[in-house]
Chain A
Amino acid sequence: MIKPFAITLKPGTSLSNLTGTWRTERPVYLDRLPPCNNACPAGENIQGWLYHAESGDYEQAWRMLVEENPFPAVMGRVCYHPCEDQCNRGKLDSPVGINSVERFLGDEAIRRGWKFSEPPDSSGKKVLIVGAGPSGLSAAYHLARMGHGVEIQEAGPMAGGMMRFGIPKYRLPRDVLDAEVKRILDLGVRLRLNSRVENISASMQGFDAAFLAVGAHIAKRAFIPAGDAAHVVDAVSLLHSMEGEERPMLGRRVVVYGGGNTAIDVARTARRLGATDAIIVYRRTREKMPAHDFEVEEALQEGVMIKWLSAIRQADEGQLTVEKMVLDDKGMPQPTGEFEKMEADTLVLALGQDVDLTLLEGVPNLEIRNGTVQVSGNMMTGFPGLFAGGDMVMSERSVTVAAGHGKKAARHIDAYLRGAAYEPHSKHELADFGKLNTWYYSDADKTVRPMLDIIRRQTSFDEVQGGLNESNALFEARRCMSCGNCFECDNCYGVCPDNAVIKLGPGKRFKFNYDYCKGCGLCAAECPCGAIKMVPEEI
């Protein structure tokens, strides 16, 4: 058949035109490191577990969380949440309430009786852990989950360390702590209470490795001349005695000397024990105070008073002598020679703690600096097979840091036991705020946690801060912007003018079709969370 002019060709599809050849840059999917994850001292995959919480799958969220940290209910109460300080959402309205969702998950796990998955078959190796504080317990948990035999030797009558004998009940109810400790022990971890290790070299015999986490329990002293009848106690012993049968007698006017979180906890405890006046005396100013702002705020609400720029010079029966201080250019307090008297039934010294290192005597090649044990990047001391972490090594002192050390040590101990070296994943590049396209996130302010009424805060040890309920925990989780990690919003799939994005189905993310992608960069520009990057083509 003779075809008419200009229609001699068979119709075809434009798919034969591979427009991918136009491209000078190609989009690639990547995972960037969310700033929250980067800031978590326990290395939690916060964005990851929030992703599951967002869809209401709390168990999956909890399981992902405990991959890194076995204490969500504790963390959700006492962690200072540096993650929230770094949260990108803080630059938009206010940070995601990571800590409150964490607590919700932890409480939910306790309420529903979720258990850790069964550990694998035994490796036949045995590890000794000294101290059942957060660091020791965390190490025990991770080692048990790797199949190693774990024995914890603990000097005290109960597990928990400073979580039990430091942090007051009104911040961390003991049934919550007990539940999370028990879940770890249920993995088959052996806990020997009332078993102080006097000499690690001797105690280590029969173990393949040891992890030391004895904390810092020796109260620091300042030289304050005190009359015989003066009532002076140290903060750690005082808080420790709160766990006993008898409540300590402090009197009506209690003065606490120091400016850290411990000083705050003591003053708030004194209020609850019936002190009409609980006064913190601190040598510097509020800005210089190491205690966290929110704790200072809560203490002030409860009627705790703070005397700034003051040093205690002398303690006598019922009375203290205090000198006024001024700050020099370096922000250090200097005496003024001006004195005044203060009434006080009890003076509590909250000046920090030192590490008791006596159990290390005779161990070769150890390095002690500033009263702490030096460890290298793998948490091992100079003595092979002896690892250490938590408050007894040089670092910030918090429950979260301690738990993080426990995890890190466990990974290196596991490698050590196999005669290998543990290679951590290389960190992804940071998903900072500039990588986001925040247009796409709904406007939503942070959910505020309920607080106990003020009268009960001054008279009882009931927990001060409440938790979120299901609906507001879900709301809070959904405020997360999933920084740097695809959350399957379909934007890239939608905005490509060239249909060059292939949707792989729920949970499977996406793929580029480089046969047709022209490299316009729209997908990368409109990805809300910065999970696409344009890279130059090699031409």
Chain B
Amino acid sequence: MGFQPIKFYQTGTYTVGNRLLSPDQRSVQAAESRSNSINSGHRACQGCGEALGARYAIDAAMAESHNRLIAVNATGCLEVFSTPYPESSWQVPWIHSVFGNAPAVATGIAAAMKVKGKTDVRVVAQGGDGGTTDIGFGCLSGMFERNDDVLYICYDNQAYMNTGVQRSSATPPAARTATTMPVGPEPGNPFGQGKNLPEIAMAHGIPYVATATVADLRDLEYKVRRAMRMRGARYIHLFVPCPLGWGTASHDTIRIARLAKESGLFPVFEAEHGEVRSVLKIRRKVRVEEYLMPQKRFAHLFGSHPHPEMVIRIQEIADRNIRKYGLLDEEEAA
């Protein structure tokens, strides 16, 4: 059935908390007792979506596992900004792997816990889109294929941010990165390349695959908690805007994530054993321009030398997602 939003009580489940909901209907993030897995003092940029997404996700995993959790972290912004030697922001048992092997390290920890009989200790692995879709992909596919008991969370900010915004296989078409400059007849990252990791994960037939954004906390918490109640290989792909790499205002991080979902460019769904089970419907549909225009990485599509034909192609991607995943309610789609 997917996440069932509560539609009324003033703000329903749209806001982080809601004093009008009964305590069992409230979010982890609304609680004063949330674990704050990644604490203040980290060195993430102002308004970092990844720092926020990581706290949302790991706090939910902590709540669901009764604080019996070990987190593995691939190299990338999240690891670097949270843990400059000898300090760390993490308030959970946490281990840094290398850039490409977080899934394998997590598999090993899960196996060790099993051998020691500590099956209540759960393992989460996390990495950026580069670490996940590119260099860590082999390890991850193996982890899926063996159905190892790990929840893997990919924080997708659509490029190699930590090393200065280079293209990854999750970078969207037309986006400017340090390695896909806005030059030539079709500026920015080429169309038709890249990987759709949620769908690749589904193709492994693993128990659970879900996508989520930092704009829908309640949906994200639901998905993390649901994944944590299962065993075997699970994958959550979390959309986390990066103000620095995308050229957006630091206060716009959540708005941008919301627009990605509302435009259809980032479909939010969950799947079990390779089949889509639920989608988060679009609530107030917007055209892709509304999402693209506030981002400097797409500035070359607009302005004095615009590329409307490229915008149309991006809109086609959104429309295809809407059709494919049924993102609009029947009457609105008509």
Name the residue in A11, A16, A506, A520 with the highest tally of chain B Cβ atoms < 10 Å from its Cβ: A520
| Binary interface encoding of chain A residues 510-531 relative to chain B, with 1 for a CB under 8 A from any of its CBs, else 0 | 0001011011111011101000
With contacts A442-B9, A495-B254 known, is A478 near B87, CB below 8 A? no
With contacts A16-B87, A478-B8, A491-B15 known, is A513 near B20, CB below 8 A? no
Chain B residues proximal to chain A, CB less than 8 Å: 7-12, 14-20, 27, 29-30, 32, 36, 39-44, 46-49, 51-52, 55, 82, 85-89, 217, 243, 249-255, 258, 284
Q: Across the two chains, which residue of chain B brings its CB closest to A10? A: B86
B29 touches A494 (CB 8 A): yes
A520 touches B46 (CB 8 A): yes
Cβ-defined partner of A12 (8 Å) among B52, B86, B253: B86
B27 touches A479 (CB 8 A): no
The 6 A-B pairs at the shortest CB distance, nearest first, are namely A490-B17, A494-B16, A521-B251, A14-B41, A520-B47, A520-B46
Give 7 pairs: A residue, B residue, CB < 8 Å, sorted on A. A13-B41, A19-B43, A442-B10, A475-B8, A489-B17, A498-B42, A522-B52
In the bound complex, CA of A489 to CA of B81 (Å): 29
B10 touches A441 (CB 8 A): yes
With contacts A493-B29, A498-B42, A520-B47 known, is A442 near B7, CB below 8 A? yes
In the bound complex, CA of A490 to CA of B31 (Å): 9
Q: Is A505 an interface residue when CB atoms closer than 8 A count as contact?
A: yes
Name the residue in A7, A10, A22, A525 with the highest tally of chain B Cβ atoms < 10 Å from its Cβ: A525
A478 touches B9 (CB 8 A): yes
Cβ-defined partner of A11 (8 Å) among B12, B15, B87, B250: B87
A525 touches B251 (CB 8 A): yes
What distance in Å separates the Cβ of B295 from its nearest Cβ neighbour in chain A?
Answer: 16
With contacts A494-B27, A503-B32, A525-B252 known, is A55 near B19, CB below 8 A? yes
What distance in Å separates the Cβ of A525 from its nearest Cβ neighbour in chain B?
Answer: 4
B14 touches A442 (CB 8 A): yes
Cβ-defined partner of B89 (8 Å) among A14, A500, A520: A14
What distance in Å separates the Cβ of B212 from its nearest Cβ neighbour in chain A?
Answer: 15
In the bound complex, CA of A478 to CA of B29 (Å): 23
In the bound complex, CA of A503 to CA of B253 (Å): 22
In the bound complex, CA of A262 to CA of B199 (Å): 70
In the bound complex, CA of A15 to CA of B82 (Å): 11
Q: Across the two chains, which residue of chain A brings its CB closest to B44? A: A497
In the bound complex, CA of A147 to CA of B284 (Å): 55
What distance in Å separates the Cβ of A258 from its nearest Cβ neighbour in chain B?
Answer: 43
Chain B residues with Cβ below 8 Å from A358 are none
Q: Is A338 an interface residue when CB atoms closer than 8 A count as contact?
A: no
Cβ-defined partner of B8 (8 Å) among A9, A444, A480: A444
Cβ-defined partner of A489 (8 Å) among B11, B44, B49, B249: B11
In the bound complex, CA of A52 to CA of B297 (Å): 46
Q: Is A443 an interface residue when CB atoms closer than 8 A count as contact?
A: yes
Chain B residues with Cβ below 8 Å from A505 are 32
**Which of chain A's residues 58-85 have a Cβ closer than 8 Å to chain B?**
none
Q: Across the two chains, which residue of chain B brings its CB closest to A506? A: B19
Chain A residues with Cβ below 8 Å from B18 are 489-490
A498 touches B40 (CB 8 A): yes
In the bound complex, CA of A499 to CA of B54 (Å): 12
With contacts A442-B11, A494-B30 known, is A488 near B19, CB below 8 A? yes
What distance in Å separates the Cβ of A27 from its nearest Cβ neighbour in chain B?
Answer: 10
What distance in Å separates the Cβ of A474 from its nearest Cβ neighbour in chain B?
Answer: 10
In the bound complex, CA of A528 to CA of B18 (Å): 12
Q: Across the two chains, which residue of chain B brings its CB closest to A19? A: B41
Q: Is A354 an interface residue when CB atoms closer than 8 A count as contact?
A: no
What distance in Å separates the Cβ of A465 from its nearest Cβ neighbour in chain B?
Answer: 25
**Which of chain A's residues 465-504 have a Cβ closer than 8 Å to chain B?**
475, 478-482, 487-491, 493-500, 503
In the bound complex, CA of A59 to CA of B10 (Å): 20
With contacts A9-B85, A12-B86, A522-B253 known, is A499 near B15, CB below 8 A? no
Chain B residues with Cβ below 8 Å from A294 are none
Name the residue in A7, A480, A497, A519 with the highest tally of chain B Cβ atoms < 10 Å from its Cβ: A497
Q: Across the two chains, which residue of chain A brings its CB closest to B251? A: A521
Chain A residues with Cβ below 8 Å from B48 are 497
